[in-house]
Structure 1
Amino acid sequence: MLRHPTPAAPARDAGAGRKASVLRRLSVTAAAALVATAAAIPAVPAQAAAFKVLVFSKTAGFRHDSIPAGVQAIRDLGATGDFTVDATEDSAAFNSANLAQYKAVVFLSTTGDVLNATQQTALQSYVDGGGGYVGVHSAADTEYDWPYYGQLVGAWFNNHPAIQRATVRNEDRAHAATAHLGATWSRTDEWYNYRTNPRSTAKVLQNLDEGSYSGGGMGGDHPITWCHAQSSGRAFYTGLGHTQESYADPAFRTLLVGGIRYAAGAAKADCRPETGYTALYNGSTAGWSQAGPGSFTNTDATLTSQGGMGMLWYGTKEFGSYSLKLDWRLTGDSNSGVIVGFPATSDPNAALDTGYEVQIDATDTPDKTTGAIYGVKAADTAARDAALNPPGQWNTYELLVEGERLQVFLNGTKINDFTNTDPVRSLQQGYIGIQNHGSGDVVSFRNIRIKELGGASPSPSATPTPPGGATALKGVGSGRCLDVSGASQSNGAQVQIWDCNGQNNQKWTPTSAGELRVYGGKCLDVTGAGTADGTAVTIWDCNGQNNQKWRLNADGSVTAVGANKCLNVSGSGTANGTRVNIWTCNGQNSQKWTRS
């Protein structure tokens, strides 16, 4: 891999005097321990534990005196959390054979340039191939000359004020890292400002209240902990963890182990970027009414069902085309659901008869268990089971309603795709409710939020006419349109440029989920979730993955979210049939598109 010139150094973690002070505090014993861990970790399989984690704490800049405490804390967490831990400061551990034994690697307060080009390639292949990355604190002060690492960590460190107490706001209380926390968390740490805001590319789990301390420099929107998918892998970062005391704090230790379990794939979460949602419930039940028997308690911004069978429904407004997200948790083999598309009613059974229930149930027949459209269409059970957290843990639903089409996403994975054909029911207008099923069925809900959409998309089985909002994408450099070769509707059909002709194979619809759809149910897709320059772009059944997410930029470029590269005409070609791929964004006209 080519190395890139190092940019002008930002304000790093501390001054030279402080570094010298920390180095003086390193004991002979600690120094010996660092030497002992310097050998590459041998490739030995996990035994009793469910998975293995590699902790990497090499520093080429400022060194935190909290690193030994952090390594020990992660070892302790592994001992009680069913994973084993290897720790090293030897970059030689970053080779494909060695990394293959780990489910996640933790960059624990690393600083500076710690990997060479070969080791960088190994880490990228590991994560993109399905591995996990966890960055702690100054992991964001690492590898400034490697663009992929900037994408992986989410944002690079810029500067920080003095250590002080601040208020952390917990935006997401379903993720395993933050579900144990209240709405806010007051703690002392060293609060980083970052060069960029990661909100557009990652799911922000926590942000800082800049009014609660001095020196915040992010303009009021200050993410401090986040997660995101990285090709086929997962990435988690927290800016917390500067102080030795952090690693003795039970709340921080739980955050840390939750991030590790997410990165390792042991805990599922919806880590897709999320903006533009309005809270329907986040502690206040204003606008909600109970229909039928039973009720919900409302404590700690959490609704918990009791008795029934009834329904708590939001009666302030009917919704047509929207994305509804909510977090839910079962206790044991309980039963509940989310009901959409019903007219105003005080009878929960009438709502079930006139709308559709997306089921929540640990065990039942396929058409009546989690992810099913109750009694109508079972979920994709393989996808559902792979995405599902068990009873006692939080899950996140997205119900995406576009016209008469209802798609169900569980922890970011699409598990059902249903189109209403019943003339008695309609999803294009109606209310939203959550079910309290009965005595013994205990289900909790948090953070119910909605984003209304502008139009409706037909189902994949609908006649392939362009949906509302469909448009051609014309290449600025070529004057030709983004085109599905041969007007094919097959998975894997090549995308190219061709003379603009107004046909359906040149009509692309941007969706709220970040897709570019063609024929209604096919998505512009980066082949194999690749990230390398030149990776082909095709069409494929829409599946909600990051390799089908695109960002339309103000400068006319179109960014592949999963790869963080631009939609590109191969070789800057202009001829009919020139193929389209992804390439490092360069501002050239071969990467510029206009909508017409």
Structure 2
Amino acid sequence: MRSLIARGLATVATATLAAATVLVPAAQAAAAPYEVLVFSKTAGFRHDSIPTGIQAIRDLGAANGFTVTATEDANAFSAANLATYEAVIFLSTTGDVLNATQQTAFQNYVNGGGGYLGVHAAADTEYDWAYYGQLVGAWFSGHPAIQQATVKTEDNTHPATSHLGATWSRSDEWYNYRTNPRSTARVLQSLDESTYSGGTMNGDHPITWCHPQGSGRSFYTGLGHTIQSYAEPAFRSLLLGGIRYAAGQVAADCSPRTGGGSTTVEGEAYTSNFGVQPAGHGTASGGRTVGYIDNGDWAGYASVNASGAKTFSARVSSAGAGGTIRVRAGSQTGTVLGTVTVPNTGSWDTFRTVSTNLTATGSGPIFLTFSGGSGSLFDVDTFTITR
């Protein structure tokens, strides 16, 4: 029997929405009914658009064959309860909203074939849970003031974006992200940073994307800060397409595009080095990192060319001194393209992503040089170069 966790929380104050109800074609709408869970717990900033967003999703469900349970009770994240839903929507969640047991249940749910959809501040959530970082695709970094910008459609074959033209001018709160998800996700929409002030992603600014996750599916959009967003027919259609994809009701190719301008490398895949060794970590990609890093050590990657490199991000851990990574071109003493600081993350198995823009230019293989205090500094799991 279904566990009706916090059913009472499903009733929220709603705003009257002027937009017409979004409908899918009759053949699609005739599909078997399904259920989605909307989760909107906040442990940080709370968006005043949350009640309106919940009602918008309810309206979409009523018109398109799915039912909605809304809750802020994290106890809903049990294996038995999650099994009743085809998708879970994180609607502008913030901060640390799930405990370790609930995290495990949700991870198993998605990897086992469930769906995740993140809206806006879902990227400002669970910074200390590495799996969630992979699931959402990129964590929030900051944002400028609400303003109008041009959104570019990069993929109009997905049901979430098939109704959109090549560009879409609208107002919202435009998030910058700590990393660029292009190498791990199919980017559906991006921002034209020349059309607004405050973009920090060096001209390559994904804002909506999707990707497979285990046997499940992930969809995220950075749109949806404002109450007005949920009255926009085009945004409601975007949400509907994302929900139907996450719930497995429609198929879509969400694999990263090949040749998309990004290269992700396992840290231990160096082709030359000084001082470092592979280190085993159960929570690392592939189970290993480049580790045993001391001050003055370095690693070279002959398969990664520095030409055109614009950003660098690395998944790192440290229970040591932390330190600095310098990204160099050509050799361990070559031109420094950029520098990023690695903090103590709390343990060798607690990974975080650090990133920086590469402001210099160079050619030849990428080299990473490491500096800091005494003893072991940090480990590097993977790193990504974006061009």
Report TM bin, short chain: 0.5 to 0.7
1:263 to 232, 237, 246: 246
Residues 1:176 and 1:476: Cα distance change in structure 2 (over 3 Å): same
Q: CA deviation at 1:267?
A: 1.2
State the match for 2:358 in structure 1.
none
Residues 1:243 and 1:51: Cα distance change in structure 2 (over 3 Å): same
Give me the whole-angstrom Cα distance separating, in 2, the residues matched to 1:218 and 1:535. Answer: 28
Give me the whole-angstrom Cα distance separating, in 1, the residues matched to 2:122 and 2:79. Answer: 21
Alignment-mate amino acid for residue 113 of structure 2: G
Residues 1:49 and 1:63: Cα distance change in structure 2 (over 3 Å): farther
1:72 to 55, 78, 81: 55
2:197 to 214, 218, 241: 214
1:148 to 108, 111, 131: 131
State the match for 2:87 in structure 1.
104
What are structure 1's unaligned runs of at least 5 residues? 1-33, 40-47, 279-472, 478-530, 537-552, 559-563, 567-582, 592-596
2:146 to 154, 163, 171: 163
Higher relative contact order structure (alpha carbons within 8 Å, sequence separation ≥ 6): 2
Q: Does 1:249 align with 2:221?
A: no
Give me the whole-angstrom Cα distance separating, in 2, the residues matched to 1:103 and 1:92. Answer: 18
Residues 1:157 and 1:588: Cα distance change in structure 2 (over 3 Å): closer
Q: Deviations over 1:249-278 (max 9, x none)?
A: 110000001001111111111111114379
Do the aligned residues in 2 keep the contact of 1:533 with 1:584 (CA within 8 Å)?
A: no
Give me the whole-angstrom Cα distance separating, in 1, the residues matched to 2:302 and 2:105. Answer: 33
Give me the whole-angstrom Cα distance separating, in 2, the residues matched to 1:237 and 1:186. Answer: 19
Residues 1:240 and 1:533: Cα distance change in structure 2 (over 3 Å): closer
For the residue of structure 1 that corresponds to 2:238, the secondary structure is helix
Q: CA deviation at 1:115?
A: 0.4
Q: Deviations over 1:538-581 (max 9, x none)?
A: xxxxxxxxxxxxxxx965899xxxxx999xxxxxxxxxxxxxxx
Alignment-mate amino acid for residue 98 of structure 1: N
For the residue of structure 1 that corresponds to 2:164, the secondary structure is coil
Residues 1:145 and 1:38: Cα distance change in structure 2 (over 3 Å): farther
Residues 1:146 and 1:198: Cα distance change in structure 2 (over 3 Å): same
State the match for 1:36 in structure 2.
8
Q: CA deviation at 1:66?
A: 0.4
For the residue of structure 1 that corresponds to 2:98, the secondary structure is coil
State the match for 1:125 in structure 2.
108
Q: Deviations over 1:112-146 (max 9, x none)?
A: 11001111111100001110000000000111111
Q: CA deviation at 1:49?
A: 5.0
2:117 to 125, 134, 137: 134
Do the aligned residues in 2 keep the contact of 1:565 with 1:584 (CA within 8 Å)?
A: no
Give me the whole-angstrom Cα distance separating, in 1, the residues matched to 2:65 and 2:283. Answer: 35
Give me the whole-angstrom Cα distance separating, in 2, the residues matched to 1:111 and 1:277. Answer: 30
State the match for 2:77 in structure 1.
94
Counterparts of 1:411-422 in structure 2, within 5 Å, are none
Q: Deviations over 1:380-415 (max 9, x none)?
A: xxxxxxxxxxxxxxxxxxxxxxxxxxxxxxxxxxxx
Q: TM-score, normalised by structure 1?
A: 0.41
For the residue of structure 2 that corresponds to 1:54, the secondary structure is strand
Write out the 4+ residue segments of structure 1 that deviate beyond 4 Å after TM superposition. 473-477, 531-536, 553-558, 583-589
Do the aligned residues in 1 keep the contact of 2:7 with 2:71 (CA within 8 Å)?
A: no
Give me the whole-angstrom Cα distance separating, in 2, the residues matched to 1:223 and 1:126. Answer: 26
For the residue of structure 1 that corresponds to 2:200, the secondary structure is coil
For the residue of structure 2 that corresponds to 1:140, the secondary structure is helix
2:215 to 232, 241, 244: 232
State the match for 1:174 in structure 2.
157
Q: CA deviation at 1:81?
A: 1.4
- Which has the larger Rg? 1
Residues 1:50 and 1:214: Cα distance change in structure 2 (over 3 Å): same
Give me the whole-angstrom Cα distance separating, in 1, the residues matched to 2:189 and 2:96. Answer: 27
Give me the whole-angstrom Cα distance separating, in 2, the residues matched to 1:75 and 1:53. Answer: 10
Q: Deviations over 1:8-60 (max 9, x none)?
A: xxxxxxxxxxxxxxxxxxxxxxxxxx993189xxxxxxxx9521100000011
